[in-house]
Structure 1
Amino acid sequence: MAEGDAQNEVTAGFLVIGDEILSGRTKDKNIGFLADYLTAIGIDLCEVRIVPDIRERIVEAVNELRARYTYIFTSGGIGPTHDDITADSIAAAFGVSIDVDPRARAILEAHYPPGQLTPARLRMARIPDGADLIENPVSKAPGFRIGNVHVMAGVPSIMQAMVDSIAPTLKTGAKMLSRTVDADLPESRLAERLAEIQQAFPETLIGSYPRTTDGRFTTQVVIRCRNEDSLERATSTVEEAVRQALA
């Protein structure tokens, strides 16, 4: 995996495409997976959008997100049916043509028995001009990468295998580190002090999350930072604030 500059933040947006997600017929499993995966390799997933199978909406979202983030990942809509319009929409977003790609066709011809590469299945070989293929070790129909946009299948097992395929090509930043402090008191008792600590350590992200433990309101404080020294100092300050609040 390419090692990124620890001083530079590498960002990503995720575009989930499909009417079936918005209607609730299909429960998305890819957002959580991608968030965990990217965090682990030092890429910040900054935004997730879910859009229907409408060309104009896909084009709009792709163009907005690819201008904002280092990488864009999409899932869904590159299958063999008439409503799988993602590839055409991505081509429109980049202003390029789309047709059956000889590389993709060869992959499908090798995968299907003679005579079984139907016109519907051949739709999965339609790739925007200038795009590189993304390997699909599960069902073989490739995804593709054009510019900073990575287009992958919606089926979780296939999408996750495709992410493994592209991971070595991604530049990464410094990994986000985190510490957790559990406080046996309600969030309101800590809110003012946590705001002060956040201001004192602007390079950190401090979040507080109320919980209920044995009928009592408690708080979990999560401190995140790319710099370990700053993280440890901020964590110690939070721990001291909790001790003082409990005294």
Structure 2
Amino acid sequence: MTSSSETTPVTAAILVIGDEILSGRTKDKNIGYIAEYLTNIGIDLREVRVVSDIQDEIVQALNALRARFTYVFTTGGIGPTHDDITADAVAAAFGVSIDHDPRAIAMLSERFPPDQLNEARLRMARIPAGADLIANSVSKAPGFNIGNVYVMAGVPSIMQAMLDVVAPTLRTGVRMLSDTVRAGLREGDIGTALAEVAKAHPEVSIGSYPFFSEAGPDTNIVVRSRDPEKLAVAMAAVQAMIDSERARLAV
């Protein structure tokens, strides 16, 4: 990985492709994994979109995202069936041809003998012209990278293996740090005071997340910053606010 300065954040988007996600038949397990992975290596995930298996919609979404963010990661739609059209859509988005790639065929041949490398499986070897392959240690069918777009499988275990291959090649920024404090108060009790703390620390991200515990409604407050000193100062302000509000409400 190569690091950039804090003033030039590295950004990313995820494009999830597949009717099965939109219909609810398949529950996505990739977004959270990728988001946490990118955060841990200093890449800011800024947007996630989910699109159906319609080529024009994939092309439109992909072109919009790749123009706005440093990287775009797609998941889904690179299998052996007729509705796996991601590779064709990516080729269309970049205006390049697509065909069976000898490198991809060689990868598939490591798993499938010649008599099993049928037309359906060979669909997974169709790669846009000019793309680099992403190795797949799980099932051998590769993903690929073209421009700032990384095309990966939708099956979580395969996607994760591909992401491990991709990560060392990415430009990264300063890692986002975070700290959490449990308020012991309802979100509505601290909303106004928390807003004042956030206003006083504009370079730090402060979020509140209500939940229910055995004791009743409660709130976690999460403070995020790339600067450890600013994080510590903001956390101290949040804790002081919590102590003050607890004392006020206890009267």
TM-score by structure 1 length? 0.96
1:223-238 pair list within 5 angstroms: 223-238=223-238
1:8-23 pair list within 5 angstroms: 8-23=8-23
Contact 2:17 2:53 in 1 (8 A): yes
Q: Report percent identity of matched pairs.
A: 62
Partner of 2:149: 149
Is the partner of 1:115 in helix, strand or coil?
helix
Partner of 1:204: 204
Partner of 2:189: 189
Deviation (angstroms), 1:3: 2.7
Q: Distance in 1 between matches of 2:210 and 2:78?
A: 41
Contact 1:224 1:231 in 2 (8 A): yes
Partner of 1:96: 96
1:67-106 pair list within 5 angstroms: 67-106=67-106
Contact 1:8 1:174 in 2 (8 A): no
Contact 1:7 1:174 in 2 (8 A): no
Corresponding letter in the other structure for 1:66 = R
Cα RMSD (Å) of the superposition? 1.2
Structure 1: state its 5+ residue gaps.
Answer: none
Any idea what the Cα deviations from partners look like across 1:17-63, whole Å, max 9, x if unmatched? 01111111111111111111111111111111111100011001100
Contact 1:15 1:72 in 2 (8 A): yes
Is the partner of 1:133 in helix, strand or coil?
strand
Partner of 1:174: 174
Change (3 A) 1:187 1:156: same
TM-score by structure 2 length? 0.95
Structure 2: state its 5+ residue gaps.
Answer: none
Corresponding letter in the other structure for 1:243 = D
Partner of 1:129: 129
Question: After alignment, is 229-238 or 38-47 more displaced?
Answer: 38-47
Any idea what the Cα deviations from partners look like across 1:191-240, whole Å, max 9, x if unmatched? 11211111111111111122333343322111111110000000001111
Partner of 1:38: 38
Contact 2:204 2:225 in 1 (8 A): yes
Deviation (angstroms), 1:4: 3.0
Deviation (angstroms), 1:127: 0.5
Partner of 1:221: 221
Partner of 1:48: 48
Any idea what the Cα deviations from partners look like across 1:150-195, whole Å, max 9, x if unmatched? 0011111111100001010011111111111211222222111211
Q: Distance in 2 between matches of 1:210 and 1:110?
A: 50
1:103-114 pair list within 5 angstroms: 103-114=103-114
Contact 1:15 1:74 in 2 (8 A): yes
